[in-house]
Amino acid sequence: MKINVLVAEIGSTTTVVNAFQGVDSPCPMFLGQGQHPTTVNEGDVNIGLEGAINALKESLNIDVIEYDEMLATSSAAGGLKMTVHGLVYDMTVRAAKEAALGAGANIHKITAGKLRRGDLKKIQEIKPNIILIAGGVDYGERATAIENAGKIAELDLNIPIIYAGNVENQEEILEIFNERKYSNVFCVENVYPKIDELNVEPTRAVIQDVFEEHIIHAPGMQRVKEMINGPIIPTPGAVMQASKLLKEDLGDLVTFDVGGATTDLHSVTEGSEEINRILISPEPLAKRTVEGDLGVFVNMQNIVNLIGAETLTKELSFDISSVMENYKPIPESENEKKFVERLALEAVKISLNRHAGKLRNLYGASGKTTVAEGKDLSNIQYIIGTGGALTRLPNRISLIKKAIEEQDSNLLGPTKEVQILIDKHYIMASLGVLSKTHPKAALVLLKESLGLKEACDESKN
């Protein structure tokens, strides 16, 4: 069978292959999905990829699959590892961090100011895939970024380096790394060109391009890359891409992606005019936070500890220890599903609390002043649920509603009137990467998966 597009999602625990047909027609279709455990530990992610393709063949009841295009997203072997180095934490460092997270990176170290010996040692231990250097508004402070670039160059890591700081430094930064024979150095627009102005999108785009061209970060990925004839981007970046595409069509939204290892929250909103008037520092239009301690499988014990085992047992009316002893990635029994739903609820609540901004009262000589810090989600019209937990659990919508109802009163979170949509086919990441080459088809398929549009009937075309 000839398929238009296959999209492989090579995750940390599961590899998924999705098949799409008619992507250049008014009636694109989602054909089916195959899944298999990711095989990083076996030394080759291709084993899991082949297993997922075989599972797809079974679901479609065919013996052979041929395809016009194959695209991919990946978060296997820890995903895209980055370190970020800026000048002042609340300014250029924060802007650089927003750019990296929005591109789908996992940030393993952040520094502000001049790098110290301990920082450099830690960078060597992390072995990042990409290093991002920022610092100084345009035509402002120059010395810190130049000194940091020199220290990083001396590590002789020869990995891609992205510089997104003071524009006056670009030529000198290139010279520093060229002298040490670094082959991939990219100078982009400043992430913080003026005070209180963020410019993160150019850096995000370059991070994803560099990932696609230069990063082979899991065993067997080189062979996967040879199979791909279209984009390959970090999985979280693909979810962000899909969220931005939906925002243009639907309006302001938040995407919760609850997985086995992490919980990601993506928001795409300008916020309300009222809050923007009292916001003390700028926020990006598109923001991602990743909670590496909140996962319903790999990091299940972390959430249990946060809630309390005794509290969980009392709430669920059964002994959770028996469930935890035989815990599986996909829950089967009713008790297992109730247990995972409670973990997912906590992951959604905590990730929302960490992502959203807050109102704060300041007291001075003139009395009380209310200011806003962080991302304003009060204008959100839609909440999207994706990831294994929120696409498969029976009470996914009610648990998201409960999280919204129980949020703190000073949190700049979504209102209770927000509409909740579920990515029922679990294809949001795949459609994010598909949107880079077929944006119209990706939007149609996204809306169909969210229940906003009926599936195409090919016989009518």
Same domain, 207 and 244: no
DSSP 8-class letter at 411: B
Cβ contact 368:393 at 8 Å: no
Residue 165 belongs to domain spanning:
80-214
Same domain, 252 and 144: no
Least confident range of 32-46, 183-197, 219-233, 303-317 = 219-233
Separation CA 186–CA 172 (nearest Å): 12
pLDDT at 103: 87
Evaluate if residue 456 carries a pLDDT over 80: no
Same domain, 7 and 55: yes
Least confident range of 174-178, 215-219, 282-286, 433-437 = 215-219
Angle at 240 between CA 253 and CA 336, to 5 degrees: 80
pTM, full prediction:
0.89
Least confident range of 10-14, 254-258, 323-327, 447-451 = 10-14
Evaluate if residue 459 carries a pLDDT over 60: no
Query: Residues 46-103: pLDDT tens digits?
Result: 888 899 999 999 999 999 999 999 999 987 666 788 999 999 998 999 999 999 998 8
Evaluate if residue 256 carries a pLDDT over 70: yes
Evaluate if residue 33 carries a pLDDT over 70: yes
**Closest Cα partner for 144 from 167, 122, 118, 165?**
165
Same domain, 146 and 66: no
Query: Residues 109-164: pLDDT tens digits?
Result: 999 999 999 999 999 999 999 999 999 999 999 999 999 999 999 999 989 999 99
Evaluate if residue 104 carries a pLDDT over 90: no
Same domain, 58 and 88: no
User: Would you call 26 exposed, middle or buried from its count of C-beta atoms within 10 A (0-12, 13-18, 19+)?
Assistant: exposed
Evaluate if residue 460 carries a pLDDT over 60: no
* Structure tokens belonging to residue 42: 């076996």
Q: Residue 245's domain is classified under what CATH number?
A: 3.30.420
What number is the average pLDDT over the span 215-243? 81
Same domain, 201 and 57: no
Report yes or no on 304 lying in a domain: yes
Tally the C-alpha atoms within 13 A of residue 1's C-alpha that lie toward its C-beta. Answer: 19
What number is the average pLDDT over the span 278-290? 93
What number is the average pLDDT over the span 183-188? 95
Report yes or no on 430 lying in a domain: no
Number of domains in the chain: 3
Q: Residue 18's domain is classified under what CATH number?
A: 3.30.420.40
**Closest Cα partner for 429 from 166, 96, 74?**
74
DSSP 8-class letter at 456: P
Same domain, 201 and 249: no
**Buried/exposed 267-286: b ≥16 CB within 10 Å, e otherwise:** bbbebbeebeeebeeebbbb
Evaluate if residue 166 carries a pLDDT over 80: yes
Same domain, 36 and 148: no
Which residues touch 399 (CB under 8 Å, ≥6 apart)? 341, 344, 345, 348, 393
What average pLDDT does the structure give for the chain? 91
Last residue of a domain, one of 230, 264, 298: 230
Is the Cα torsion angle 217, 219, 224, 225 positive or negative in sign? positive
Report yes or no on 174 lying in a domain: yes
**Closest Cα partner for 241 from 191, 232, 16, 356?**
232
